[in-house]
Chain A
Amino acid sequence: MADYSNKLYQQLEQETGIQTGYIRTGSIFLAQTQDRLISLKRINSRLNVIGIPSEIISPKKVAELHPLLNVHDLAGAMHVPEDAVVSSADVALALASAASQNGVQIYDRTSVVHVLIKKGEVTGVETDKGQIECQYFVNCAGQWAYELGLSNEEPISIPLHACEHFYLLTRPLETPLQSNTPNIVDADGRIYIRNWQGGILSGGFEKTPKPIFTEGKNQLEIHNLQEDWDHFEPLLSSLLRRMPDLETLEIMKLVNCPETFTPDMRCIMGESPAVKGYFVLAGMNSAGLSFGGGAGRYLAEWMVHGYPSENVWELDLKRFGALQSSRTFLRHRVMEVMPLLYELKVPRWDFQTGRQLRTSPLYDRLDAQGARWMEKHGFERPKYFVPPDKDLLALEQSKTFYKPDWFDIVESEVKCCKEAVCVIDMSSFTKFEITSTGDQALESLQYLFSNDLDVPVGHIVHTGMLNEGGGYENDCSIARLNKRSFFMISPTDQQVHSWAWLKKHMQLDSNLLLEDVTWKYTALNLIGPRAVDVLSELSYAPITPDHFPSLFCKEMSVGYANGIRVMSMTHTGEPGFMLYIPIEYALHVYNEVMSVGQKYGIRNAGYYALRSLRIEKFFAFWGQDLNTLTTPLECGRESRVKFEKGLDFIGRDALLQQRQHGVYKRLAMFVLDDHDTDLDLWPWWGEPIYRNGLYAGKTTSSAYSYTLERHVCLGFVHNFSEDTGEEQVVTADFINRGEYEIDIAGQRFQAKARLYPVASLYTHKRRKEDVELSDLHGK
């Protein structure tokens, strides 16, 4: 996005004739620590493959590029020579005049009272100067977007919150800085520094931000914000440490200019799930100018074509629900988010504020057994269980790009899943029920999903909910409960998005009901070869593979509790069951499972174990590996698309075409060969993939496979033409015949690409001579 902004601003001056103050200065990102340097190296290798020149440079080189910098405490730096600066007011003016030239009317000094909505569609805008009719409305009100969103009759929740942001302006230096002096970002010092009219402009993201306007204040107050020098003191110290020669530079002023932040540090854009034609672009987290151009373009595409040209799920308004809308939550969360902008971002970071909002009824029970938690869509999920005799590092010390401290813990959980049985609380998954009086449910689902859902009652179907382009809007499992009702399980963060999609495409009336039952069920995943033993002790229903084959769903009793939906699938490829338990039975069933399971060596496991298991089995997850621009054919799921089911479904045409012409990218699994788990940097996601030395794509997720004793990455392989850079068809042969390398922070590791999971994983058996006495201990 920033790249497009850069190009846009560059052209803008030519197109409009208005000075934008565009100067190509370049930027230098400083690293005071080795860890920061690693993170810069990771960014560097990503920038290089998307065509933005950048390099890692030594402190000595930094000193050459910028005369005033103190480089003695630096470990290194990243130089991005094509970065530029513009003047925000001038850019806005230029954009506005360019728009006017193309027939756009701009109303100055006019405030929006509220947006007019009829039948869930935008019809106009009520302003203090009268009504304006319109079909589309874009809420770009920055920090006021939240309030504007709520001002409608049907409120639209746009979770963002403002914080005071300070930057310093000085008078020119005695020998004014060259206008092309590079910008400096010293994230370890929490500051940025750039040239400003021969002097400097410097601000930062302090550790203790000051959130404002929690109660939603009058816009006028923004002009009365005070400079707070004591608050700025740490940043000033850090500035003078970086540029000691500035001591004698005269202060012009300290500007207090609020910036808006979102709960996950990413901006918010897209169409509201509730109101058609209501678009949002806000919450730029202090990067409004650099991302503005690109974000504007995507939003324009979205409004014109119905979808943007890139995957923007991570920015989509629909990733949030009303649950992120509490002002208290936002206030607390942005206080964490703002400092985080300049903090080291390591793999598997979890937000610490605004937690324990949605929990499973088993939360306390699991917590007492040592569960460590992560959060998704407000829901607490166990990462792993720390045994009582083990201590983990404190949060701050556990930040690492290398092997994490929980490695052994997850290993034993994975081992237990492979050899005995584990239970994972997976209640966070989004669960919908679709019921109808007649065949309406089946008919509409057949149209919405690519797989054939006209299966006998009790069958479970893995299927994608595709868009016109054949891309995944959602990847889910659907169980046919009876002739007229279906139970749909999708990823946790699909709750809002999927709901909106279904609402949009289904003729919901009294004959066809869609219900969100996420909160009604607690989901326990019993994984492992002994899961069947545990379950058969708890139920009189026969559950041997003959009676209960894979991908089946039965309602049965477990312990005293009746009406438990038992499904023979585990989301990991391991044998086992998912139990969907009405929440009031959750504790009972869990207790029963644990006490019966004792003799089979049952133990709790968390999502890290699950992740390791599913990635080594090449199970792609929506939101990480799959998105709206990836099709089932591109990830080897032809079998889940039934072209011949006799009915049309969304995306069918696109897929047919793709089947004919071949795919341009293909999801593959990479097993790292010469990677030392103990000593080398761990892969995360977003690492460039090289095929025969040429860039071929990026990884989307990775995990350590305890079975293969190797790292496994998933990622898409493209076939860029060597001459033109154009994308070409990717065949299985193309994949298999390449030599692959994965670039982790500039270091390349050899990898083997596979299109299907390693077969030996399924027939894993423990060798007799490896059995120990300790295996007889209860866990």
Chain B
Amino acid sequence: MCVCPGPRRIGIPVRSSSLPLFSDAMPAPTQLFFPLIRNCELSRIYGTACYCHHRHLCCSSSYIPQSHLRYTPHPAYATFCRSKENWWQYTQGRRYASTPQKFYLTPPQVNSILKANEYSFKVPEFDGKNVSSVLGFDSNQLPANAPIEDRRSAATCLQTRGMLLGVFDGHAGCACSQAVSERLFYYIAVSLLPHETLLEIENAVESGRALLPILQWHKHPNDYFSKEASKLYFNSLRTYWQELIDLNTGESDDIDVKEALINAFKRLDNDISLEAQVGDPNSFLNYLVLRVAFSGATACVAHVDGVNLHVANTGDSRAMLGVQEEDGSWSAVTLSNDHNAQNESELERLKLEHPKNEAKSVVKQDRLLGLLMPFRAFGDVKFKWSIDLQKRVIESGPDQLNDNEYTKFIPPNYHTPPYLTAEPEVIYHRLRPQDKFLILATDGLWETMHRQDVVRIVGEYLTGMHHQQPIAVGGYKVTLGQMHGLLTERRAKMSSVFEDQNAATHLIRHAVGNNEFGTVDHERLSKMLSLPEELARMYRDDITIIVVQFNSHVVGAYQNQE
């Protein structure tokens, strides 16, 4: 799992100063990034950046890497980190002073970086007949953290209809996002199962028979599952379905998807919390469940079954529907609400959930208790458990936990926990033929691009691949040469599209490489991708994207049936 060593993240003040730095620099395309760093005037700002950055070095070398941007660095760290200052300067000097001034990645190198994590799944088509409303999906992720803290999952429900897709953005390490990416879909699938199926599965477990498969995963080879925790996770899941069986009133098997999604989210978060409280005799697992509980993750999950689309969101990842208007243009329909300080109703909710006297402290500097950016998340027991419980668990926990300053640290103004929930907000959408695709992406994408641009780029990419506006000669005088020129031009225009066989890759290419004119600039792309691990996080966040394509014919057929 991820005991994440090495220098990685930065705190918020750095980020706010570094971003303007970059955006100031970019409009002047001749000014290269690396020379820029060395520029005396700016190196001062950079110095601050380094300072803030290295302050976290030591923290991240300890067990919970907590230097995620979502946390404001606490003064407590400063002293803690100072010892490493010299080391940082050393590496900085070694790394940059000796690097040749111009360093470009070639287009194939850029492609190999962008494509390293891409994955495509096509719903199998038998003999031209296709009954699924989902054609398939493309997904990809580009790390900024090392290792990446984002996760993604996709699976087809085998015992019920429908497909599940989700993106998970971890913070303070990847332990929680990893656990959620492995487990959440099982919780959802189980919540959706009819009573008989649950009974059948339980009986099979009881009598040692082969189990019904529940999910068909669609995974990139890099998407791993934890072998060690598998048994523990299974037991928790089994307890859940046993309770579902016991709770069944036998009234109706009409399972409400929305309710199922909410229950699954809450249950999993509850299990994460419980597992950490109970612990495990195996020291590795014990450490693991604690890391999962003390780190956090947001989740944005879509469930597609025929024309019924449910999006369950916890945190600040986003689901966006790409709609093609009759005139062929694209518009974006948001299917999730960000749970952060920009969301009025979330602010309202938090204030209502806590006593009046906390109204000022519960959200400070747009952060929960002045620390956490998302207002809903899995894990993050620091914002959920009582102080007593936190202390007790840490004291009885392994040494690594005990030695860690961050875990010991209690958020300020911590009076009436829990402050954080994993309960998702579920939005239902009935698919129409003009709904062509759904984008699920972590905030790494949304903070670099406007949703309208995102939908337009994907829309043009997908239609370009399949049915680009055809040319017709019809009555005009066109010579072969003119036509050839026109076609070559169209082709060149498409070439950046043709470079990517994956819509998510294409989107990342734009997100990272777009210049001020909204087109991909290879130079910029190359620079962004060749940033050293320690710096990457300053200029972008982990980006994870899933693009689900819908089959308009099938959706249309559903519509006509009614």
Contact = CB atoms under 8 A, between A and B. Distances in A.
Contacts of B484: 233, 236-237, 240, 247
B491 A233 contact: yes
A248 B477 CA distance: 11
Contacts of A328: 126-128
Contact of B473 (A248, A253, A331): A253
B340 to A, nearest CB: 44
B483 interface: yes
Nearest to B478: A251
Interface stretch (A128-136, A222-230, A479-487): A222-230
A43 interface: no
A489 to B, nearest CB: 35
B89 to A, nearest CB: 50
Given A215-B128, A228-B470, A250 B487 contact: no
B479 A230 contact: no
Nearest to A232: B487
B16 to A, nearest CB: 47
A230 B494 CA distance: 11
B490 interface: yes
Interface in B475-518: 477-481, 483-484, 487-488, 490-491
* Residue of B478, B481, B490 with most partner-chain A CB within 10 A: B481
Contacts of A253: 473
Nearest to B487: A233
Given A236-B484, A328-B127, A248 B491 contact: no
A254 interface: yes
Contact of A236 (B470, B472, B483, B490): B483
B470 A248 contact: no
Contacts of A227: 470-473
A353 to B, nearest CB: 15
A170 B480 contact: yes
Contacts of B478: 250-251
Contact of B487 (A215, A229, A327, A331): A229
Given A230-B487, A233-B488, A251 B128 contact: no
B551 to A, nearest CB: 16
Contacts of B470: 226-230
A250 B477 contact: yes
A595 interface: no
A214 B128 CA distance: 7
B468 to A, nearest CB: 6
Contacts of B483: 229, 236, 251
B128 A327 contact: yes
A232 to B, nearest CB: 8
A249 interface: yes
Nearest to A211: B128
A327 B129 CA distance: 11
A69 to B, nearest CB: 15
A56 B64 CA distance: 77
A240 B480 CA distance: 8
A150 B342 CA distance: 64
Contacts, number: 69
B229 to A, nearest CB: 34
Nearest to A327: B127
B501 to A, nearest CB: 14
Contact of A247 (B481, B487, B490): B481
A: contact size bracket: 20 to 34
B479 A250 contact: yes
Contacts of A230: 468, 470-471, 487, 490-491
B128 A240 contact: no
B468 A240 contact: no
A265 interface: no
Interface string A191-217: 000000000000000000000001100
Contact of A248 (B126, B128, B479): B479
Interface in A232-246: 232-233, 236-237, 239-240, 246
Contacts of A249: 479-480
Nearest to A248: B479
Interface string B319-351: 000000000000000000000000000000000
Contacts of A250: 477-480
* Residue of B126, B477, B478, B479 with most partner-chain A CB within 10 A: B479
Interface in A299-335: 326-328, 331
Nearest to A253: B473
Contacts of B480: 168, 170, 236, 239-240, 246-251
A214 B129 CA distance: 10
A536 B468 CA distance: 69
Nearest to B483: A251
Contacts of B472: 226-227, 229
Given A240-B480, A240-B481, A251 B487 contact: no
A249 B478 CA distance: 8
Contacts of B491: 230, 233
A327 B490 CA distance: 34
* Residue of A227, A228, A229, A327 with most partner-chain B CB within 10 A: A229
A254 B470 CA distance: 13
A246 B472 CA distance: 20
B458 to A, nearest CB: 20
Contact of B481 (A168, A214, A248): A248
A251 B473 contact: yes
A254 B487 contact: no
Nearest to B129: A215
* Residue of A215, A239, A247 with most partner-chain B CB within 10 A: A247
Contacts of B126: 328
A294 B477 CA distance: 41
Interface in A95-142: none
B487 A236 contact: yes
Given A170-B480, A249-B480, A251-B483, A229 B471 contact: yes
A248 B478 CA distance: 9
A233 B468 CA distance: 14
Contacts of A251: 473, 478-480, 483
B258 to A, nearest CB: 38
A466 B472 CA distance: 59
A229 B483 CA distance: 9
Interface in A398-427: none
Contacts of A229: 470-473, 483, 487
B74 to A, nearest CB: 58
B147 to A, nearest CB: 35
B23 to A, nearest CB: 38
Nearest to B485: A247
Interface in A257-284: none
A334 to B, nearest CB: 14
A551 to B, nearest CB: 47
Contacts of B481: 240, 246-248
A249 B477 CA distance: 10
Contacts of B488: 233, 237
A251 B484 CA distance: 11
A327 B128 CA distance: 9
A647 B252 CA distance: 80
Nearest to A246: B480
Contacts of B477: 250
Interface string A539-555: 00000000000000000
Contacts of A254: 473
* Residue of B128, B468, B478, B483 with most partner-chain A CB within 10 A: B483
Given A214-B127, A247-B479, A250-B480, 19 more contacts: A215-B128, A226-B470, A227-B472, A229-B483, A230-B487, A236-B483, A237-B484, A237-B488, A239-B480, A240-B480, A246-B480, A247-B484, A248-B480, A249-B479, A249-B480, A251-B483, A326-B127, A327-B128, A328-B128
Top 8 nearest A-B pairs (CB, nearest first) are A247-B481, A233-B487, A229-B471, A214-B128, A328-B127, A251-B478, A249-B480, A246-B480
Interface of B: 126-128, 468, 470-473, 477-481, 483-484, 487-488, 490-491
6 contacts: A227-B473, A229-B473, A230-B471, A230-B490, A236-B480, A247-B481
